Copies of this chain bind each other. A is one copy, B any other.
């Protein structure tokens, strides 16, 4: 496989890379970010996958979360993929909306035309990308965890619940916990997966827990001043579902915090510490 390093910056004595490659899953060039902590020069290190939210690329988290300091200290790599396929050949929302199409892959494998060819972010994130990472970087692939924000929090929860064998720990900021029940999710899942709502349940964290999927403890931070709290995020749905099903969940509601990266930056250290305990546990 051929990887192109399109940017490299030294950061907290580690390496912050942007990498482009021709992806099989999405049938297009994909760009992702990798932060390699200083420890990666002498050992294979654990890896935290970060899934970003609507409108983001690989760069938002890299530039705005301030995560490198904590990852460098903990000796953990961070991989942040793009949020959708990209390129002139990739179809987009016909009206250019921010919540579907490019920048809004929702971490599913689309089954419907014209989306099914390229919009295969589930396979990309869970299969192709980890293979690329493991073969090209000093990563201990059996030590992986997953986190994300908003649409990416949805991705982290659903992927983590479906693959507890792969991801040792799961966390999210402001996640869409029940996409089958809110406008963002209904639009995206309806278009990518078709009208049959039963097919959507494999990509809905609440439905997965109801169906018996389990992972270790889940950590969620949710800002109480988040503009999307009551109409798109609805963390109480997941809290209730987890309580009824016996899925461990730490849901922290943070007064005054909104949906922005200023919120993520304020608590990413806690999340990296949480993942580091699972990843460095041996």
Question: Which residue on B lies nearest to A223, using beta carbons?
Answer: B10
Q: Are B11 and A68 in contact (CB under 8 A)?
A: no
- Which residues of the partner chain B approach A11 to less than 8 Å between Cβ atoms? 262-263, 265-266
User: Which 3 residue pairs of A and B lie closest in terms of their CB atoms, listed nearest first?
Assistant: A66-B66, A9-B262, A11-B262
- Report chain B residues within 8 Å CB of A68: 262, 265-266
Some 5 contacts from A to B, beta carbons below 8 A apart, are A10-B223, A11-B263, A63-B64, A66-B66, A68-B266
A residues in contact (CB < 8 Å) with B: 9-13, 16, 63-64, 66, 68-69, 223, 225, 256-258, 260-263, 265-266, 269
A136: shortest Cβ distance to chain B, in Å?
Answer: 21
Measured CA separation A61–B137 after assembly (Å): 31
- Asked if A69 and B10 make an inter-chain contact with CB atoms under 8 angstroms apart, the answer reads no
Q: Are B63 and A16 in contact (CB under 8 A)?
A: no
Contact A9 B69 (CB under 8 A): no
> In the complex, which residues of chain B have a beta carbon less than 8 angstroms from the beta carbon of A265?
11-12, 66, 68-69
State in angstroms the CA–CA spacing of A69 and B270 once bound together: 13
Contact, CB under 8 Å: A10 / B225: yes
Contact check, B64 vs A9: say whether CB atoms are below 8 A apart.
no
Residues on B with beta carbons closer than 8 Å to the beta carbon of A257: 10
B66 touches A10 (CB 8 A): no
- Whether A63 and B261, one on each chain, are in contact in the complex, defined by CB atoms closer than 8 angstroms, is yes
> Which one, B10, B260, B266, contacts A12 given CB within 8 A?
B266
| A30–B258 alpha-carbon span in the complex (Å) | 25
Q: Is the CB of B10 within 8 A of A263?
A: yes
